[in-house]
């Protein structure tokens, strides 16, 4: 039987559903997470709350991989928001921004995949932590999906830039 979630774990999980849904909606509508849109703002605000709430979670009692992921998510989000001000990057900015925001979405799901497979179904969870084969397989599939999505986004940015250059 899996360990039950603490109250903070339940709150963190509820908060984390918001950027998961907002990010998915943004990808479906815009093919990217666009922070200037209302859904992009919801994504970033709830992602920040999710990352911050992760700092209160620790089954080992100290700093863990989830805390490191939260720090990376916050740093990458901040860098992506600053990228448009770095004009020396020129035409790379939209590529880097899409990749960065997609990376935050990817990282949002990494602990979620592990925790979900390690807790559900409650009587006999599918996995048993990040080293169990079902969790490793799911995370590998998630990496492949992230890579394919990032390549597709780069292609979309390239097409948009080509249209702007012509038109």
Q: pLDDT, tens digit, for every residue of 34-69?
A: 999 999 999 999 999 999 999 988 766 788 888 999
Closest CA to 83 of 154, 25, 34: 34
At 94 the pLDDT is: 96
Which tokens hold the place of 121? 């179904």
At 58 the pLDDT is: 72
At 167 the pLDDT is: 64
Q: Per-domain residue ranges for the chain?
A: 7-166
At 1 the pLDDT is: 52
For residue 33, which phi and psi values (nearest 5 degrees)? -90, 115
Low-confidence stretches of the chain (pLDDT < 50) are none
**Residues ≥6 apart with Cβ < 8 Å to 74:** 48, 51, 52
Distance CA 119, CA 127 (A): 8
At 42 the pLDDT is: 99
Burial (0-12, 13-18, 19+ Cβ within 10 Å), 151: exposed
Which tokens hold the place of 35? 């922070």
Asked if residue 54 lies in contact with residue 85, where contact means CB atoms within 8 angstroms, the answer is no
Burial (0-12, 13-18, 19+ Cβ within 10 Å), 26: buried
At 2 the pLDDT is: 60
């Amino acid at each position: 039987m899996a360990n039950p979630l603490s109250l903070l774990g339940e709150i963190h999980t509820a908060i984390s559903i918001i950027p998961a849904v907002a990010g998915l909606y943004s990808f479906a509508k815009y093919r990217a997470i666009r922070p200037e849109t209302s859904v992009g703002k919801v994504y970033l605000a709830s992602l920040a709350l999710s990352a911050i709430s992760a700092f209160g979670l620790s089954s080992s009692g100290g700093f863990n991989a989830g805390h490191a992921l939260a720090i990376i998510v916050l740093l990458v989000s901040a860098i992506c928001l600053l990228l448009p001000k770095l004009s020396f990057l020129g035409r790379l900015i939209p590529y880097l921004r899409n990749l960065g925001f997609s990376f935050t979405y990817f990282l949002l799901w990494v602990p979620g995949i592990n925790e979900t497979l390690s807790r559900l179904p409650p009587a006999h969870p599918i996995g048993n932590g990040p080293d169990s084969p079902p969790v490793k397989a799911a995370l590998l599939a998630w990496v492949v999906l992230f890579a394919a999505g990032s390549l597709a986004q780069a292609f979309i940015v390239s097409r948009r830039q080509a249209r702007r250059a012509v038109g």
